Chain A
Amino acid sequence: MKEHSPQSGDDRRWSRRAFLKRAGMTLTLPAISGGIAACGPFAGGGGQSESQGGDEGAVGQGNKTLGFAMINLTLPFFVRMQEAGGEAAKDYNVRTVWQSADGNIENEIAIAERYVQQEQDVILIDPVDAKAFEPVVRQAEEAETPVVTMGNKVEAGWNFNTLYPDYENMATVARALATALDEKGQIAFLVGSRGNYVSDTREAGFKETIEQEFPDIELVSVQPTDFDTAQAQAAVETWLTTYPDLAGIASVSDPLVLAAMNAAENAGRDDILYAGHDGDAEMHPMLKDGSMVIDVLTGAERVGYWNVAVGARIAKGEKFNKELFMPTYFVMADDMASRLADRGLEVDAVTPEEATETAQSYAEEFGPDQPSSAMSVG
């Protein structure tokens, strides 16, 4: 087909020499691209790199390969998850390939489709949305490639779902915070981003519990932050001006709670109670001093190790139910647990010290020496 461009001037013609010049320049691209791809920390393809935990790309050796299609690999939770996943890859002698969709649903589906083409032994997907991944799971089923969907229930029949009870956990978090506040006063809630399954589920668990069970608690604002601590801090700064009587702040993720605490400290407010989720070790001092009521230990490292362990076991032929549940733990200081119990709320929680131990012992909890039954509770 010939193209027209009145302004470009079709009469402009290229000599063979000019053509070759331009060709040379254009063809430098593969060299540049290849050079970058082959250099330094970006290298990871081909399975040559021995386990380095935090690197995206191929990790570990072994004759089985697990392909991970992740929403993100730069947020702290996912970085920790991948690091522990690298340890699991070593322990289970499998190779893992991690690719990030950077939050883009079409990218994530494309990554999963490529894994099907590459005939990975198991594909593990952290789905942006459950419904959208049903077609690609069916594609994997046709290729007889096992699929594990992590943290989000995809009902495509073929896949395994690795889950944790986010809704129920955040309902308990809401009850604990409300009870600590004597069931009255103003609270606000920091969430991740709209449309993110984990954030939305946790938000629903928290909001609905407050609305249904605590009529005198006023949820004055729910602020999406894109899991960005700077946005969380800005939101809390605004709240502290707009709602001077704000008594409690909850969040779907611990780093956002830390940002909230920082904003409150800058504003000279030390009377606010906090509640969070993730079970990060950084929260333990606040749990101990009573400013943080409750946390939920899923633990990024535990999640990473557990999912690689499940994927490796499936690759090696172990049989599992289609739904696997990772044990989670509420974390509270003893004083706070007693206080809430006195007010009628009993929560089966571990102390921060016990949480530290649990969070670090994932290799023992889900390691290759454990039986298949250790991979799921309930």
Chain B
Amino acid sequence: MRDIRFGPQVVRQMLLLVTTCLIGLAFGVASPGFLSLGNFLNIGLQTAVISIIAFAMTCVIVAKGIDLSVGSTVAVAGIIGALTLQAGLPPLLGLFAILLAGVGVGALNGFLITVIGVSPFIATLGTLALGRGASLSLSGASSIDVGQPLVLWFGSSQLLGVPVSVVLSLVLLVLFWVLLNRTVFGRWVFAVGGNAEAARASTIPVRWTQFLTYVLAGLAAGVGSVITVGRLGSAQPLAGEGLEFAAITAVIVGGTKLSGGEGSIVSTFLGAVLVGVITAGLSFLGVRQEITYIVTGVLILLAVLTNQVGVSRPALWLKKLGRVRGPEGGAE
């Protein structure tokens, strides 16, 4: 019989899909209301922002970076946009201000990392605190009401029964996939993350590429902010708390390597959906919040184990262990 062969990303995507379906079915059996269209749309709604930011985070991580500031960028961008609207500027300018604020934070991260030479972890940790402080300070530590229909549309309306934010996340899934897989920039991102020195020798603009991945992350946080403001009907200074963790989780579960050079937008999307299904399912069962953290942790470790180490190596270790212990335990 001829052996069937699969590409590693296709394998991961198939497994993520099968796992998500099985877990979804299990939750459906335990809690019948889980397998309803309304609940699936809810899960889509709740994972839309995470997915969008995770797409950009995939680019950042593939280029061997990390961005911890996306959550507070969502908050500060929303506050800046709401203040712009409060000042009486048209809604379109308000939207533009939100996106621009996101791009601004992304550019600051890119500048600190690629020009000044600060490590990505430290630079974005700094802008995380800076963004949170700025959002609390600018808002006077309270939410700002946003009532403009155009702004609310992105977070609270539907297109043919599907939330606009879900449609937007699917559109961005395609755009990011094209960007990473069908453009020169995408090839640069993989090259820079895989081997920066080799990329530099190949005349690839390494710093510029890394800089742009952070700008993309800022822009994605801006889009996430638009959706969040629309969903909440207000700009919240504490919005986006823990979002960086959720986005990085989706990326890692999707199989992107933290060491850079390898990753997939589709897998990231499936990772976000898997985490969303598990979170919603556990919530449906009424289990404690700690469980969600534990399961998410297990998920990350498992993803890292299967992706970074591979399956064959642990199997080899076990085999070796069996050999070593053989005479005592009688394993061999």
Contacts and interface: CB of A to CB of B under 8 A. Distances in A.
Interface of A: 1-8, 10, 12-19, 21-23, 25-30, 32-34, 36-37, 42-47, 55-58, 73, 97, 99-107, 109-111, 113-114, 117-119, 128-132, 134-135, 194-195, 200
B85 to A, nearest CB: 14
B273 to A, nearest CB: 14
- Main secondary structure, interface of B, reads helix
A23 B302 CA distance: 12
Contacts of B3: 15-17
Contact of B181 (A3, A21, A58, A111): A3
A36 B295 contact: yes
Nearest to A132: B232
Interface stretch (B115-123, B212-220, B262-270): B262-270
Contacts of B295: 33, 36-37
Contact of A97 (B145, B156, B236, B286): B286
Contacts of B195: 7
Contacts of A100: 288-289
B160 interface: no
B306 to A, nearest CB: 6
Given A37-B285, A200-B142, 20 more contacts: A2-B9, A7-B191, A7-B194, A8-B8, A13-B5, A13-B8, A21-B315, A26-B306, A27-B19, A29-B302, A36-B295, A44-B288, A46-B286, A99-B286, A99-B288, A110-B280, A128-B238, A129-B232, A132-B232, A200-B141
13 contacts: A4-B187, A13-B8, A15-B3, A19-B11, A25-B305, A27-B19, A27-B22, A105-B239, A106-B240, A106-B241, A128-B238, A130-B143, A195-B136
A250 B214 CA distance: 44
Interface residues of B, number: 85
Contact of A23 (B18, B177, B231, B305): B18
A61 to B, nearest CB: 14
Given A42-B288, A42-B291, A6 B33 contact: no
Nearest to A7: B194
A25 B177 contact: no
B46 interface: yes
A172 B240 CA distance: 36
Interface in B1-38: 3-11, 15-16, 18-19, 22-23, 26, 30-31, 33, 36, 38
Contact of A37 (B136, B193, B282, B299): B282
A111 B292 CA distance: 13
Contact of B263 (A5, A22, A110): A5
Given A37-B282, A46-B286, A99-B286, A29 B19 contact: yes
A47 to B, nearest CB: 8
Contacts of B10: 2
Nearest to B285: A45
Interface string B220-234: 000000001001111
A135 B233 contact: yes
Contact of A21 (B38, B45, B311): B311
B172 interface: no
B6 A14 contact: yes
